[in-house]
Structure 1
Amino acid sequence: MTETVTRLDRAAPFYVAGHHGLAGGAVWRHLGASGFTNLVGRASSELDLRERDDVFAFFDEVRPRYVVMAAARVGGILANSTRPVDFLSDNVRIQVNVLDAAHTYDVDRLLLLGSSCIYPKFAEQPIKESSLLTGALEPTNDAYAIAKIAGVMHVQAMRRQHARRWISAMPTNLYGPGDNFEPDSSHVLAALIRRFDDAVRDGASTVTNWGSGAPRREFLHVDDLASAVLHLLEAYDDASPINIGTGRDLTIRELSDLVAEVAGFSGTVEWDDTQPDGTPRKLLDVSRLESLGWRPVVELRPGVEQAYNWYAEHRDSARR
C-alpha cells in the first residue's frame, strides 16, 4: 500500500459526479466545508452520464483536475433482483464514459465509489479487500456487483496502462440526509425509517419487515464517508480498492428496534421470512483505512436520529 501526503489544490476544478445523490451530496458538502471553491456538478436532467458524447463534451468544457465518481443507479434487494439489466447496463455505461473522458482530459486524481456488495456472498468476515473475486456473489444483486467490479478493474487498468493516480473505495451500507426512501428502491435503513414513520403517523399497531431479521449489517453515515473520500484522495495511491466502514455491525432486527424507538413506534413488529434475507453478514475489514489515520466519528444512534429527523422535515420533498 502506497501512502502519499498530497494536499489537493482547493481552487482547481473538482467534478463530483452524482452530487445530488446520498453519497455525492455528502461529498459535495464536505468539499465545500473543506475550502474547495471550484466544485462542479450536473443534475442527471442536465447531463445523462450514459450518453458518451455528452460526457466528453462536458469534460471538454469543464476540464476538471479532480473527480469523485459517486453517480450510479442504486437500489435495495427488490430493485436489484427485479431489474438486473438496468443496474448492469446503466452502471457500466456511466463508469466507462466518465473514466474514459477523465483519461482523455487528463484528470489527475479520481476516486471511484464502489460498494461492499462486490465481495463474495460467503466471504470470510470481516471482509478484506483481498476477498474480491474469490467466490460467488449474492444472487439478489449480482448484476449491480458485476458492474461495480468492472469499475474497479477499469481504475486498475488505467493505472497499469496509463499510470493514472486513480483509486477506488468500497463503502459499507450508507445512510443519512438525502437518502432514497422510495419503497421499491430504497436500502434497508431508509426503508425502515419510512415504514415506522408511516406507521406512527397512520396509527398502525403492526409493522411487517422483510426477511428474518437475522442478517448482520454495518452502517456508515454519509458525512463520515465524505471525510474518508477526501482523506483518501490526499493520502492513498494504490491499485487495490480500499474499504470504508466502521468495523462494527448489528442484526437487521436490532436495527429495526432502534429505528422503531427513534420513530416512537410502540406496536408489534412482524417478520415476513418468505422474503429474501440477502447476504448473511457483510462486515468490512477497515484496518487499511485506519492505518492511514482515518476513523468515523458519527455513532449509529445519533446518526439514525439525524436521518429520521431529516426525513420528517423533508417528507414531502424526499425521494419517497
Structure 2
Amino acid sequence: MILILCPMRVLVTGGSGLVGRAIQHIVKEEGGGKEGEEWTFLSSKDANLMNMEETRAVFQKHRPTHIIHLAAMVGGLFKNMRVNLDFWRNNIYINDNVLQAAHEVGVVKVVSCLSTCIFPDKTTYPIDETMIHNGPPHESNFGYAYAKRMIDVHNRAYFQQHGRYYTAVIPTNVFGPHDNFSIEDGHVLPGLIHKAYIAQKEGKPLVVWGSGTPRRQFIYSLDLARLFLWVLREYNEVEPIILSVGEEDEVSIKEAADAVVAALGFKGEVVYDTSKADGQFKKTASNAKLLRYLPNFSFTPFNKALKDTCDWFVANYDTARK
C-alpha cells in the first residue's frame, strides 16, 4: 500500500508585516520550512479581511490546511489613545472573518497572534496564560486589547462547538527588521530607533517620550518566528501560550533608549519629555509554560538583536515603513 501524504498548506495573514516577514525569512532563507509544506504570505493587497466575501474568496483560492493569523490594525500607545473605537471594530471584523472562513474551508489549525496588552491593568506579576480575563485592560488601548481577547473566546467556542484546534500565542513587545518605524504611530523601540537616527543626522538631542521608567520585555522577531513554527507544528492546546524572554530580561524604556544610543553610535544629548504619557508601567509576563515545552530555546541577546535591527534600518532607511 502506498501512503500519500497530503501537503500542509500554510496561509499567513499579515504576511508583509514585522512578524510575517520574519516567518518568511526563517522559512525561505534559513531553511525553516519542511518538505511537504506550501507557504503563502498574504498582504492587505490580496484581500480586505474586514470584508467577509473577500476573506472567503482568498481562503477558497488557497484552500489552506493551516493558518498563522497575524493581520490586525496595530499601532503604538498614542495611536491607540486616539482611535480606540477603530481598533475595536476593525480587529473584531478581521478576526471573526478569518476564523469563520478558516472553519468553512476545513482548516485544521489556526494560530492567532495576541499581545500582552490584553492582560488586566490591575493585576499581580508575573502575568500568565490563566489571567487574560481577570479584569479590564489598561485604559489607553482598551479597544485593541478587548478585540484581541475575543480571539481566545472565539477559539474556545470553535473547539467546544466544532472540535477545532484553533489557538493563540501571546508575544511580548516584538521588534526587528521590517518593523513600522513611525515616530507618531509606531511602537516604542522602532520609534526610538528612528528618532535617534534623525537626531544624529541633525545634530539635535534625542527626545524620549515619557519618563523612561516603564518596563518591557522585548522579543526579537526572528526568535518569535521560530517559536511560531514550533506552535504551528507541535503545540496542541487550545489554551494560549506566552512567547517571551524571561522576567529577568525585562528592561526599562531608559535602558532601551541607552541601548539604541549605543547601537547607532549616537553622540548627542538624551532628554525625557515627561509631558508625554508613559502608558502601562509594566506587563511582566511569565514564560514558564513555554519553558516547560522548550527548556533549551535560545533567545537572541537583546543588544545583538537591537544592533541587527538598527543596522537593517540604516541600510534600508529609504524603503523602511516609517
TM range (shorter): over 0.9
Aligned partner of residue 127 in structure 2, secondary structure: coil
1:305 counterpart letter in structure 2: K
Matched with 1:290 is: 291
2:235 counterpart letter in structure 1: Y
Matched with 2:24 is: 28
Matched with 1:5 is: none
Q: Contact 1:122 / 1:279 at 8 angstroms: preserved in 2?
A: no
Q: Contact 1:16 / 1:28 at 8 angstroms: preserved in 2?
A: no
Alpha carbons of 1:293 and 1:10: their partners in 2 closer, same or farther (altered >3 Å)?
farther
Once superposed, which parts of structure 1, at least 4 consecutive aligned residues long, lie more than 3 Å away?
Answer: none
Kindly indicate whether residue 57 of structure 2 is the aligned counterpart of residue 54 of structure 1: no
Distance apart, 1:282 and its partner CA: 1.3
Alpha carbons of 1:313 and 1:10: their partners in 2 closer, same or farther (altered >3 Å)?
farther
Distance apart, 1:261 and its partner CA: 1.3
Name the TM-score, length of structure 2 as normaliser: 0.93
Kindly indicate whether residue 219 of structure 2 is the aligned counterpart of residue 229 of structure 1: no
Q: Deviations along 1:232-276, whole A, 9 cap, x unmatched?
A: 122222232110000120110111111011111122211111211
Question: What is the number of equivalent residue pairs in this alignment?
Answer: 311
Q: Contact 1:246 / 1:296 at 8 angstroms: preserved in 2?
A: no
Aligned partner of residue 74 in structure 2, secondary structure: coil
Aligned partner of residue 279 in structure 1, secondary structure: coil
2:321 counterpart letter in structure 1: R
Task: List gaps (5 residues or longer) in structure 2.
Answer: none
**Counterpart-to-counterpart distance in 2, 1:115 and 1:207:** 28
Distance apart, 1:132 and its partner CA: 1.0
Q: Deviations along 1:194-218, whole A, 9 cap, x unmatched?
A: 01111111121x1211111101100
Alignment of 1:230-309 (within 5 A): 230-247=229-246, 248-293=249-294, 295-309=297-311
Kindly indicate whether residue 20 of structure 2 is the aligned counterpart of residue 18 of structure 1: no
**Counterpart-to-counterpart distance in 1, 2:27 and 2:160:** 29
2:304 counterpart letter in structure 1: P
Q: Contact 2:76 / 2:186 at 8 angstroms: preserved in 1?
A: yes
Q: Structure 1 vs Structure 2: percent identity of aligned residues?
A: 31
Task: List gaps (5 residues or longer) in structure 1.
Answer: 1-8
Alpha carbons of 1:12 and 1:299: their partners in 2 closer, same or farther (altered >3 Å)?
same
Alignment of 1:120-159 (within 5 A): 120-159=120-159
**Counterpart-to-counterpart distance in 2, 1:110 and 1:97:** 13
Q: Contact 2:46 / 2:58 at 8 angstroms: preserved in 1?
A: no
1:302 counterpart letter in structure 2: K
Aligned partner of residue 122 in structure 2, secondary structure: coil
Matched with 1:99 is: 99
Root-mean-square deviation (CA, aligned residues, Å) is 1.4
Alignment of 1:190-205 (within 5 A): 190-204=190-204
Distance apart, 1:150 and its partner CA: 1.0
Moved more, 232-241 or 298-307: 232-241
Larger relative contact order, structure 1 or 2 (CA cutoff 8 Å, min sep 6): 1
